[in-house]
């Protein structure tokens, strides 16, 4: 008698479809004013549907908190599901390419469980759903950090926009954060001199002692012009701008002719009700003939795995170091977001769901 062949993913479906699972999720009901508050959200339950062919059911293990979450929500009509990336375990599957037990990185938002078709672009983000490679003994949360969106921001932003040459000097603001700490390490590997600005003496020590930055200055206590003279007597060739504001004006005024500026973000003002006024930048841009280019990392969505693979190689070779600030509990998402914006993190800020 012919043996009945039932693919594994279908047998899993019989035992554990999406139906019957209730997800918890954060819905933004008020636009942020100043720092995000728990009262800006409602946490609600959502009954998930049965899986259709091609779909998977995931359970969040790590959720990301990122500066863009503070900056972007103003563009959404309320109420709206909160945006964000997560590392999630596949707990049921009707897609043979995404088997049960594997982990994915996806922009599922602030929610515990998700039903999705990995081929269909997500509503809540611009990053593709990717299977997390086996990165043992490193934690899977790196899929949200050096092996995820911030890692690709550092990889593509520095190499494609700043295009540093060996011997050049790179300045980085937000230098001890997820993107900045990664940019500095790549800069050193490319043979550049690297100068970072971060918000505490401990962070600056970490950048110099652990990550090999040539200089690091606490922007809260240093005289920035003096620091630039001391740290970059040859002036700056590449500036990776994570923070914006007056410090960026000072750095751009200390650049060499034909310097390149990668404008990655302006976290210094994300919580501000009134945007700051800064010293005019155009004279520096004109007289030094600077190339100033803003970018969004999804520009390289077609090369996404190229960035992940390059960073994984550096990690495996022991050339890329990382730190994480781990918050705990799905109920503490807002505290984690606020803490990250206040600078509690060195490296990537993440939330372990359970």
Closest CA to 196 of 226, 218, 175: 175
174 part of the interface to ligand NAP, by CB under 6 A: yes
Residue 194 in tokens: 């690297």
Q: Does 340 bind ligand NAP (CB under 6 A)?
A: yes
Structure tokens at 137: 């003994």
Alpha carbons 313 and 185: distance in angstroms, whole number: 14
- Among positions 50-79, residues that touch ligand NAP (CB under 6 A) are 66-68
Q: Give the nearest distance from C-beta 30 to ligand NAP in angstroms.
A: 21
Contact call for residue 216 and ligand NAP (CB under 6 A): no
Q: Confirm if 328 and 63 have CB atoms less than 8 A apart.
A: no
Token reading at 287? 């007289």
Residue nearest to ligand NAP (CB): 177
Binding mask 292-331 for ligand NAP (x = CB under 6 A): ---xxx----------------------------------
Bridge partners of residue 66, in order along the sequence: none
**Shortest distance, CB of residue 243 to ligand NAP, whole angstroms?**
4
Residue with the two structure tokens 């980085």: 172
Under rule CB under 6 A, residue 268 binds ligand NAP: yes
Does 194 bind ligand NAP (CB under 6 A)? Our answer is no
Distance CA 217, CA 201 (A): 8
Q: How far apart are CA 108 and CA 237, in angstroms?
A: 38
Report the distance separating Cα 324 and Cα 341, nearest Å: 15
d(CA 223, CA 300): 37
C-alpha of 118 from chain center: 20
Q: Which of 124, 288, 345, 352: binder of ligand NAP (CB under 6 A)? A: 345
Burial of 22 (0-12, 13-18, 19+ CB in 10 A): exposed
Of the candidate spans 26-34, 84-92, 123-131, 343-351, the one that interacts with ligand NAP by CB under 6 A turns out to be: 343-351
Nearer to ligand NAP, 162 or 349 (CB): 349
Confirm or reject binding of residue 243 to ligand NAP (CB under 6 A).
yes
By beta-carbon proximity to ligand NAP, the closer residue of 259 and 265 is 265
Hey, which residues between 223 and 242 contact ligand NAP (CB under 6 A)? Answer: 242
Give the residue, chosen from 36, 106, 177, 231, that forms a contact with ligand NAP under the rule CB under 6 A: 177
Among 62, 83, 343, 352, binds ligand NAP (CB under 6 A): 343
165 vs 79, 123, 155, 169, 258, CA distance in Å? 47, 39, 15, 9, 13
If binding means CB under 6 A, how many residues of this protein chain bind ligand NAP? 30
Interacting residue ranges for ligand NAP, rule: CB under 6 A = 66-68, 150, 153, 174, 176-180, 198-200, 203, 242-243, 264-268, 295-297, 340-341, 343, 345, 349
């Amino acid at each position: 008698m012919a043996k009945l062949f039932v693919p594994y993913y279908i047998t899993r479906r019989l035992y554990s479809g999406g139906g019957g699972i209730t997800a918890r999720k954060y819905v933004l009901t008020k636009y942020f004013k100043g720092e995000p508050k728990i009262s800006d959200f409602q946490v609600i339950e959502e009954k998930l549907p049965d899986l259709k062919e091609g779909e998977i059911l995931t359970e969040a293990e790590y959720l990301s908190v990122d500066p863009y979450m503070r900056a972007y929500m103003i563009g959404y009509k309320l109420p709206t599901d909160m945006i964000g990336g997560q590392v999630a375990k596949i707990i049921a599957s009707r897609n043979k390419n995404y088997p049960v037990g594997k982990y994915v990185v996806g922009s599922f938002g602030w929610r515990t469980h998700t039903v999705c078709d990995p081929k269909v672009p997500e509503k809540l983000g611009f990053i593709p759903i990717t299977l997390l490679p086996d990165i043992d003994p490193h934690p899977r949360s790196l899929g949200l950090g050096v092996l995820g969106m911030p890692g690709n921001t550092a990889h593509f932003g520095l190499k494609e926009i700043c295009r540093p040459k060996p011997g050049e000097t790179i300045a980085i603001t937000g230098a001890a954060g997820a993107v900045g700490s990664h940019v500095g390490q790549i800069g050193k590997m490319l043979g550049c001199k690297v100068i970072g600005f971060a918000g505490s003496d401990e962070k600056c020590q970490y950048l110099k002692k652990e990550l090999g930055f040539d200089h690091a200055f606490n922007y809260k206590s240093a005289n920035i012009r003096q620091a630039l003279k001391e740290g970059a007597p040859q002036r700056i060739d590449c500036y990776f701008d994570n923070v914006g504001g007056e410090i960026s004006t000072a750095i751009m005024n200390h650049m060499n002719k034909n310097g390149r500026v990668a404008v990655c973000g302006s976290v210094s003002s994300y919580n501000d009700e009134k945007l700051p006024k800064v010293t005019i930048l155009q004279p520096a841009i004109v007289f030094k003939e600077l190339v100033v280019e803003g970018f969004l990392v999804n520009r390289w969505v077609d090369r996404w795995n190229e960035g992940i693979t390059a960073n994984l190689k550096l990690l495996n070779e022991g050339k890329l170091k990382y730190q994480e600030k781990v918050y705990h509990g799905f109920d503490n998402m807002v505290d984690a977001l606020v803490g990250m914006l206040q600078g509690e993190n060195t490296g990537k800020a993440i939330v372990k769901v359970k």
